[in-house]
Structure 1
Amino acid sequence: MTYRGRFVTSRARYAVGVLVAGLLTMPSVACTGGGPTAADSFTVGLLLPSRVVPRWEKSDRPLIEQQVKRLCPHCSVTYANANDDSTVQRQQMIAMITKGVRVFVLGTTDNRALRSTVQEAHNAGVPVVAYDRLAEGPISGYVSFDGVQVGTLQGRALLKAMHAPPEGGTIVMMNGDPTSPNAAWYKRGALSVLRGEVRIGRSYDTPGWSTDNANANMTAAISALGPGRIDGVLAANDAMAAGVVSALKSAHVRHLPPVTGQDADLDAVRRIVSGEQTMTVYKSFRAEAEAAAAMAVALGRGESLRTIATTTTDSATTHHIPSVLLTPVAVTTANIKQTLVKDGVYTITQICTPQLRAACAKAGLTP
């Protein structure tokens, strides 16, 4: 993938905010007594990839649905979750084309497997906004985060938490699903920091970004390297971090090594507070959902994305895709309150269960 120009979060939010404000202040036919026209009354097809990672159902879906309704009150959203099955997602997408959706927001299960279906949508005149993951084929818009930067943040946090062990130390890399381009970008960013600094004892791909698969991989790594010879684990997301921590505990590792994550899942935030996980990467789901909804509504109305997209992206099949690439943030105990709590992702009460009250007080997480 090629980024054409760097993205600044404040600039992206400003651009999306300007578009949202403009759409909200546009007079609709309904207000003039004639009822909504086709330009102001259409269906957005929302396709998300998985139920394994909590963010899709708990954050992305409701935020996108709310924002589409806010921008286009007479529009509707048809939703489907593929549960990590590319064949199912293809069927869902074709069914929605048949039913007449005007535009797609697609969080793809497999960027290559959906290429022909994206082409079918294009042939039918239905534009596709790639959401969080860059699908192949004639994509009309793309919204995500700088994936290389995500991996860079994880690698830096891991090195810092390892406190320069003798001879650099040995780590295990728990990479993401090999069918996802995001996984490759995360890995590339992490390796840009870790190469030459640590020994990579084992490196695994993790189909489905699955907790169970990560647990099995980590169990194998412990068996191969020894439970006391792993100084850190680069886990690409929080679901896999959960599997890693579980495997370490099952192996009776008394002092857990630093473990990274991503997605700011509530359970992961609690593990960070308790000391079982070192960090996560917070990606503002609200900012991402707002940008995707703005793109979908604009495309559904036949409008250009020029006022929304702040850069362009090249996929394996399509160049110069109008894109919004947001900036991720590393979260540790030091800034949970200033990031996740401040942005309204979680309340302190949600994070600080009775078992974590002492740890929360130590971390400054008090109401």
Structure 2
Amino acid sequence: MRNAQARLLAGCAAGVLALAACSTNSPSQSSAAAKGDGKDYKIALLLPETAVPRYDGKDKPYFKAELKKLCASCTLLYANANASADTQQQQAQSMLTQGADVLVVDPVDGVAAASIVTAAKAKNVPVVAYDRLIKSPELSYVVSNDYEQVGKLQAQALVDKLNAGKVSPSEGGIIMMNGAGTDNNAASIKAGALSVINKSGYKVLSSTDTWEPAAAQSWASGQITRFGTKIVGVYSANDGNAGGAIAALKAAGVAPMPPITGLDATLSGLQAILVGNQYMTTYNSFQKEAETAAAVAYDLARGVPPQAPATVDGHPATLNPPVAVTASTIESIVIRDGFWSVSQLCTSAYNAACAEQGIK
């Protein structure tokens, strides 16, 4: 039988703006200590896209493994919307029809996904917003990363690199490739980045909002034609967009590459950093995020209120802190955390670059 939506306890005062946290500590480990109560809860995980490899390759398996550890009798219902908000709506309705006790949703569109929360509430099913915020007052919990801090780290790394290279703001400016306008996280990342760039003296020459690497590449090509050597830095909200910018710069014969930022610590992004095509990326522990989401979902299914060390848009939340990664810290941050192995990163094309950074 489906459980009633649990009461939620916020560890900080309500009324905090979206993605503003009182703390980034993890919730209590009440779920982690549980052995499972033998009930066959159905936990639904709905992820947003396949273009970003982390979702199917990292988030899903981490979530699945943690849920299995917490509750051997639980059933995981899984779907990926492949960047379609309409598809995600249909998938959520299907899972509700199958008797899901909790929905964990990483929304394609954080505004449109409010209808998923409404449909779930009608069946007394709590919804956890995973990674991206869903704009609904009926949301039960948020598990995400501190994305405003992501933007600040990216922008500060870019500005520091330009200053270290003695690149004067009078020599040119930065082009910005932000995330999609429908993504609340993208807005938070952008706000964080601009809070640094706007005080740096470096001008934003132009900007675009997309998570599609092909669109980012096409746009970057146009900006290279438009601004040429006036582009002294490329602010990219993630590694996918960074890859698009790198391809455009290479096609235009630009060398050396201007410093380029990123996010997600993708394999291709890290390899681009190793060979000097990308300057940095930002790493969040997807394992910690997914495991926290699984624990929160299991608590909600059992009717246990999860503790919440933070609030997001007035909702109880857990936010993971991001870390900036450059070539010299790939081994100490990303490899040591087990996110990628040395063999995955240091293929034959990157052996020399790995050796140069002491990655063995």
State the partner residue of 1:66.
Answer: 65
Contact 1:3/1:311 (<8 A) preserved: no
What is the percentage of aligned positions where both structures have the same residue?
40
State the partner residue of 2:188.
Answer: 185
**Offset of 1:164 from its aligned partner?**
3.9
The partner residue of 2:179 within 173, 176, 180 is 176
State the partner residue of 2:6.
Answer: none
Distance of aligned partners of 1:265 and 1:43 in 2 relative to their CA distance in 1, 3 Å threshold: same
| Cα displacement string for residues 245-272 of structure 1 (whole angstroms, at most 9, x for unaligned residues) | 0000011112110000000101111111
State the partner residue of 2:247.
Answer: 246
Distance of aligned partners of 1:7 and 1:193 in 2 relative to their CA distance in 1, 3 Å threshold: same
Alignment of 1:153-168 (within 5 A): 153-162=153-162, 163-167=165-169
**Equivalent AA in structure 2 for residue 216 of structure 1:** S
| Cα displacement string for residues 222-247 of structure 1 (whole angstroms, at most 9, x for unaligned residues) | 11111x22111000001111101000
TM-score by length of 2: 0.91
Contact 1:7/1:327 (<8 A) preserved: no
| Cα displacement string for residues 154-200 of structure 1 (whole angstroms, at most 9, x for unaligned residues) | 00111122234123541100000100010110001001111142011
Q: Structure 2: which 5+ residue stretches go unaligned?
A: 1-16
State the partner residue of 2:281.
Answer: 280
Q: Does 1:23 align with 2:4?
A: no
SS of 1:190's equivalent? helix
Between 352-361 and 53-62, the greater mean CA deviation after superposition: 352-361
Q: Does 1:361 align with 2:355?
A: yes
Q: Does 1:143 align with 2:143?
A: yes
State the partner residue of 1:259.
Answer: 260
The number of residues matched between the two structures is: 339
**Equivalent AA in structure 2 for residue 151 of structure 1:** G
Contact 2:231/2:258 (<8 A) preserved: yes
Between 91-100 and 356-365, the greater mean CA deviation after superposition: 356-365
State the partner residue of 1:222.
Answer: 224
State the partner residue of 1:334.
Answer: 328
State the partner residue of 1:31.
Answer: none
Contact 2:31/2:296 (<8 A) preserved: no
Distance of aligned partners of 1:164 and 1:119 in 2 relative to their CA distance in 1, 3 Å threshold: farther
**Offset of 1:3 from its aligned partner?**
5.3
State the partner residue of 1:294.
Answer: 295
Q: Does 1:105 align with 2:104?
A: yes
Q: Structure 1: which 5+ residue stretches go unaligned?
A: 29-35, 315-319
Distance of aligned partners of 1:359 and 1:42 in 2 relative to their CA distance in 1, 3 Å threshold: same
Contact 2:143/2:319 (<8 A) preserved: yes
Contact 2:31/2:298 (<8 A) preserved: no
**Equivalent AA in structure 2 for residue 214 of structure 1:** A
